[in-house]
Amino acid sequence: MTEYRSETVFTWGGVPLKFGIGAVDEIGHDLAQQGVHRVLVVTDPGLAASGVPQRVAGAAKSAGLEVEVYDRAHVEPTDKSVAEAVEFARQSQWDGFIGVGGGSAIDTAKVVNLLTTHP
């Protein structure tokens, strides 16, 4: 008869994840700890109207970071809308990107980061 072990050994090396009440207030400090100085917040018009991206930007500014909000990410982004976001980002030298919103804004932020840092 074969003996089977009931436990599996594995290592999880995921990136740090911070969440909870007040977590956004620490984003400026967290970015500064990573050596970030200039941050572009990427979001969509609907979420921008709620003031949430501005709160994130304010938290980053309070830590001394230079921040701008790009609020023209499209829901279900197209190649054209992403190209516009990349072109906007290329006008300045950002060393950090924050995606605020649903998947479309976050995906747009990831593509902007990729195409402006690895053209």
The residue segments making up the domain with residue 44 are 24-105
Confidence of residue 16 (pLDDT cuts 50, 70, 90): confident
In a domain, 61, yes or no: yes
Torsion angles phi and psi, residue 38, rounded to 5: -130, 120
In a domain, 37, yes or no: yes
Query: Is pLDDT at 4 greater than 90 in this prediction?
Result: no
How much is the pLDDT for 89? 98
Contact, 52 vs 99, CB < 8 A? no
End-to-end, the C-alpha distance of the chain in Å comes to 58
Mean residue pLDDT of the chain comes to 94
Contact, 108 vs 81, CB < 8 A? yes
Q: How many domains does the chain have?
A: 1
In a domain, 115, yes or no: no
pLDDT tens per residue across span 94-112? 999 999 999 999 999 999 9
Q: To 10 degrees, the CA torsion angle through 60, 48, 40, 68?
A: -70
In a domain, 40, yes or no: yes
How much is the pLDDT for 68? 98
d(CA 115, CA 18): 26
Confidence of residue 6 (pLDDT cuts 50, 70, 90): confident
Give the pair of three-digit tokens for residue 24. 């956004």
Q: Using alpha carbons, list the distances in angstroms from residue 78 to 33, 40, 69, 83, 88.
A: 34, 20, 20, 8, 15
In a domain, 12, yes or no: no
Rounded to two decimals, what is the model's pTM? 0.86
CATH number assigned to the domain comprising residue 86: 3.40.50.1970
Query: Is pLDDT at 69 greater than 80 in this prediction?
Result: yes
How much is the pLDDT for 2? 74
